Amino acid sequence: MTTHRSHAYGFLTDASLCIGCKACEVACKQWNNLPADGDGTLSGQSYDHTLDLSDTTWRHVAFVERPTIDVDHSVAWLMLSDVCKHCVHAGCMEACPTGAIIRTEFDSVYIQQDVCNGCGYCVPACPFGVPQLGHLGDRTARKCTLCYDRLRGGLQPACATSCPTESIRFGPMTELLEDAHARVATLKQRGIAHAQVYGDAALGGTGGIGGLNALFVLTDEPETFHLPAQPGLPSTRAWPALGAGLAVAGAFTIAALRIFGKRS
């Protein structure tokens, strides 16, 4: 069963209401002082130039083109604003060797930039590929903070306040989960057969994750929106082996630098 804690807060993002305006992306970047991606030109992959979540894009609106069976060969659009899932049991936090990744009083998963050493263990530990090492400045791991600074000041996350259709909602997870299932029931009554909740223990919050603090109402299968249907946490037995491998690689690198330095 889903194990959302009573004090947990998070997101409910509804794909049936998203219009692809990317106001959430802009609001996130503005509040967190994140740089723009690329030169503003289209990527050639739909109308999306940010492509995915990254160290500088903590909200990403995916544009999914679906061909229709109409005689004019038109295209139907599916849109969804993706974000860090702030997992109930977070693989990134378990893998972090420095304690840089913590759980806040809102049950969100937060990376302390001044404690992160940039080792990158959190990157493969996340089944959703969310944390990424920064390519600017200190190269520490970065991702959505659930606008922790705003929450502590009594404000909602910037993305939720900017959404013109209320596709992104913020609130207590227990309430959002009930609302998500109610919304899916309504969509199915309207003929959207594939409507489903993504983020409870049955779908998306699987494999030891225990549920997500970022729920999604989907109008098609998760894979359509580039979400794994049954993600799972990696085995914790892999971390000592990974650490040993990195240590060996580091030793060889240091030795090579010393040899090179003596020859030069």
Determine the residue type at 114.
D
- Residue 14: closest CA among 215, 192, 191: 215
Do 134 and 144 touch, CB atoms closer than 8 A?
no
As a 3-state breakdown, the chain gives helix, strand, coil percent values, each rounded to 5, of 30, 20, 50
Supply the mean pLDDT for the chain. 86
Evaluate whether 94 touches 110 at the Cβ level (below 8 Å). no
Nearest to 97 by CA among 122, 77, 76, 73: 122
Residue 86 has pLDDT above 70, yes or no: yes
Whether 126 and 96 have beta carbons less than 8 Å apart is answered as no
Q: Which residue bears the tokens 């600017």?
A: 136
Residue 143's alpha-carbon distances to 39, 92, 108, 153, 239, in angstroms, are: 22, 11, 12, 20, 21
Reading phi first (left if > 0) and then psi (alpha if -120 to 50, else beta), residue 51 is in left
The reported pLDDT for the residue numbered 258 is: 45
pLDDT digits (tens, 9 = 90+) for 157-168: 999 999 999 999
Interval 97-139: pLDDT, tens: 999 999 999 999 999 999 999 999 999 999 999 999 987 677 8
Question: What is this structure's pTM?
Answer: 0.85
- Token pair 């082996």 is found at 241
Residue with tokens 């990696």: 234
pLDDT of residue 43: 60
> How do the domains of the chain map onto residue ranges?
9-225, 235-264
At the second CATH level, the architecture of 9-225 is: 2-Layer Sandwich (3.30)
